Every structure is written in structure tokens, then in C-alpha cells.
Structure 1
Amino acid sequence: MGATSLESVLDRNTIITKLKMNTKDDVIKDLAQKFYEQGYIGSVDEFVKAVYEREKEGATGIGNYVAIPHGKSDTVKKNGVAIAILDHEVEWESLDDTGAKVVVLFDVGDDSEGAKEHLRMLSMFARKLGRDEVIDALLKAQTVDDVINAFAD
């Protein structure tokens, strides 16, 4: 049974606001650590490696200071999403040459059910992230509630 709504996918424990990081690598590792602490993945190192495998395939910065990296790995125990709102822009390969201030990291199970659920989640998030008012709300988010509210409507 796949997730039906964004609200059911958002986990307060994997959302960080006002994150002070200086590199893409630090952001990915920090979010991977959150996944690990909450039981989404079995290994931070394995998962981070999977994220970088995916990064080789093309830019995950979708523009407007938003990046949506993901890692597909058999270390993933359950699909989920971790979100960081950064306190300043970090360098990130993107479609419009902006860096990232909002990072939405997906973890994807290595089986076909995991992949299907991931596509559903990705399309739900992509629809929201295509809207300027959602991006504006995320860029201004100070708290976990702000982030959740930005996606809710």
C-alpha cells in the first residue's frame, strides 16, 4: 500500500530548518543521518554512496534554489523523504544555475515496489515544488510546522 498524500509522507523527525551547512556533501550526510536515526536506512555510508551514484546521472537542482536528490539502495528499510531548509545557499548543480536552499532528499528501496512508490512521491512533490507560493513558503520556513504547512493545501 503506497502513500496517498504528502502529509502522510512528511515526517517531522526528518525535517530540519535553519540548517547551517556549507557544502552539498554536508547537507546530504546530515539528512542521511536523520534517515538513519529514524530507522529509514541501515547504513549512512551506503546510502550516501547511492545518492552520489544518482547525482552522476544529472543535476538534481530543479531551479528556484530547490534540489531533489535521491538514493536507491538495499540499505533502505522504508521509503521516505528528509527535508532541509538551509540558512544560506550552498553550491549545487541545477537547471538554472542557482544553488540550493531547500533540499528534499528521497530514500528509495531497491525493489520494484519501492521504485513505484518513489515515483508516486516524486510526482506529488514535483507538483508542489512547481508552484512559486510553495517555494516562497519553504524559503521563508523557520520551523518544521512551516515546512509541513508549505506543502499542505
Structure 2
Amino acid sequence: MKIEQILNENLIDLDMKATTKDEAIRELTDRLYKEGKVCNDELFVKDVYLRESEGKTGIGGHIAIPHGKSDAVCVTSIAVGRTKNDLVWESFDDLPVHIVILFAVRNVDKTTVHVKLLSQVATALADDEMLKKLLTTQNKKEVIRLLSQQIQ
């Protein structure tokens, strides 16, 4: 499974209103719910927070990658949001978060598919130029392209 197969423009918000971690998670969950990717939004949010309690999902560079492995997920998907607001998030570099990449993973996909998707995103985020573009682009197709690229 590849990023471009599970991320579409309706799952991207480049102007989130969120001012808190909770608001960001809920805004992106709402997008997943409206697109039919999450069947039960409240259960999914609960499962995201269960994972949050296990360790930091703020990976540094103003990026957080929260994820919920949940029976509330109908279709494994990713939602991406960006906000100008500084979101306080447990992060390895203690910088505020501006981009949230929320993974919604069906329980049956929680091993191989989940690991492959995380690996693809981590590979893309390792490129500083890509990261700068992700923080500034106004084009949703560009976000998909950036997250889908494989560093050679």
C-alpha cells in the first residue's frame, strides 16, 4: 500500500483552525469520518489517545504523526493538516507542531501495512527540502506528491 492510494485532497487541510493538540486530532478525525474512512469518530479519537499515552508522536521539525490502530477505522487512511498556530505537542525537539499527519489504521492492518506507511512517511520527512515545501505549499496535490516521494 502506498501513500497516494490512501491520501486524497479531501483528507488534507492546509489551513487548520486548531490551537491545541486535541483540536487538531479532532479536526483531522472529522475529515476521516466525513470521507467514510472512520466509522466511529469518538472511538477512534480514544484509540489515538491510547497510542499517545505510549510515547511521543511529535517527531521534530514541527511535525507530529499521531496514529490510531482501531476497530473504528473502516479503511486504512492518512489525514494531513497544517496550522499557523503553535501546537503544544510532546516532541523530541520540543518545538511546536505545525503539521499533523494522522494515521488511521484498521486493526487487521496494524502490523505490515502500518509499518510500511510509517516508513514511507519517515523517508519523505527525512529530506529537509521536502519538509520546507510541506510547511509552505498551498497545493494539496503537492502534499500528496511530497509524502509519496521515495528518496534515492
Question: TM-score, normalized by length of structure 2?
Answer: 0.92
Aligned equivalent of 2:140: 144
Q: 2:10 aligns with which of 8, 13, 19?
A: 13
Alignment partner, residue 28 of structure 2: 31
Number of residue pairs matched?
Answer: 149
1:76 shift after superposition: 0.8
- For 1:36, give the aligned amino acid: Y
Contact 1:89 1:100 in 2 (8 A): yes
Correspondence 1:105 to 2:102: yes
Contact persistence 1:108–1:115 (CA under 8 A): no
Residue 48 of structure 2 corresponds to 51
For 1:48, the aligned partner's letter is: V
Contact 1:79 1:114 in 2 (8 A): no
1:93 aligns with 2:93: no
Deviations 1:90-124 (A, max 9, x none): 1111000011101000011112x343211111100
Q: Among the aligned pairs, what percent are the same residue? A: 38
Checking the alignment, whether the CA contact within 8 Å between 2:124 and 2:148 is kept in structure 1 is no
Q: What's the secondary structure of 1:18's corresponding residue?
A: coil
- What runs of 5+ residues in structure 1 fail to find an aligned partner? none
Check 1:48–1:60 CA distance in 2 against 1; reply closer, same or farther (3 A cut).
Answer: same
Q: Which residue of 2 aligns with 1:122?
A: 118
RMSD between aligned residues = 1.3
CA distance in 2, matches of 1:77, 1:136: 32
Q: Which amino acid aligns with 2:45?
A: V
* Structure 1 outlier segments of 4+, above 3 Å: none
Distance 1:21 1:75 in 2: 23
- In 2, Cα distance between equivalents of 1:15 and 1:150: 13
User: Equivalent residue of 2:117, what SS?
Assistant: helix
Q: 1:114 to 1:59 in 2, by over 3 A?
A: closer
> Match for 1:73 among 70, 73, 78?
70
- SS of the equivalent of 1:149 reads helix
Superposed displacement of residue 148, structure 1: 2.2
